[in-house]
Structure 1
């Protein structure tokens, strides 16, 4: 099983994030927070060559379902989506919820994770 799913786009980071936010909204996911790693490292005197942003996204209904099923699943919340430049190309990726949840032995959770994963991957695919 692959740990992550990544797509490439010719869009700028800002365009990719804007489109991604629209697609996430369609699936009732909101961006809770966006962490600009390049900027933060720059503030601390360190440097990345390319932009790298981490979006923490959540669908409240799904978060409730997952946490009611298994409190330890909260260790994987919220879902993360990264948008970054590599070799001049914009990439959008995420750790697969099914890969993370596979560490907890609970079939109901695995089914929930598969549904969430499919929806998030659909958002990434529509964002390119």
Structure 2
């Protein structure tokens, strides 16, 4: 099982972030949290790295279904989506979404399979939309 659903975009980082937010919104995901890893590492450790942003995406109906199956599944919510510059290929931005099937695998809860499948369909549609825009 793959850790991520992903695509590569030949656009600047800021444009990739904007497009990612729009593609997620088109699939019913809002961004609840945002972690600027580059800025955090610079501030806390005085370490430089490429632009790297973690978006905590949530689709409320899917989250509600998952929590209805197992309340502890909140530990794995929201769906993390990473937008990061590729240090090996300047001008290229990677967008990676957590594979929702991991939620089933980690929890061992088969009743989460339909939720994970629906979440994967929506996240893959967002990723595919980004691929079409490169």
TM score, norm. by length of structure 2:
0.88
Selected match of 1:117 from 98, 112, 120: 120
Give matches, 1:48-67, under 5 Å: 48-67=48-67
Aligned length: 128
Q: 1:120 Cα deviation (Å)?
A: 0.6
Q: 1:100 Cα deviation (Å)?
A: 2.8
Q: 1:5 Cα deviation (Å)?
A: 2.0
Matched residue, 2:103: 100
Q: 1:79-100, CA deviations, whole angstroms, 9 ceiling, x for partnerless residues?
A: 1000001122200002211023
TM score, norm. by length of structure 1:
0.92
Q: Is the 8 A contact 2:10 2:93 kept in 1?
A: yes
What runs of 5+ residues in structure 1 fail to find an aligned partner?
A: none
RMSD between aligned alpha carbons?
A: 1.3
Matched residue, 2:76: 76
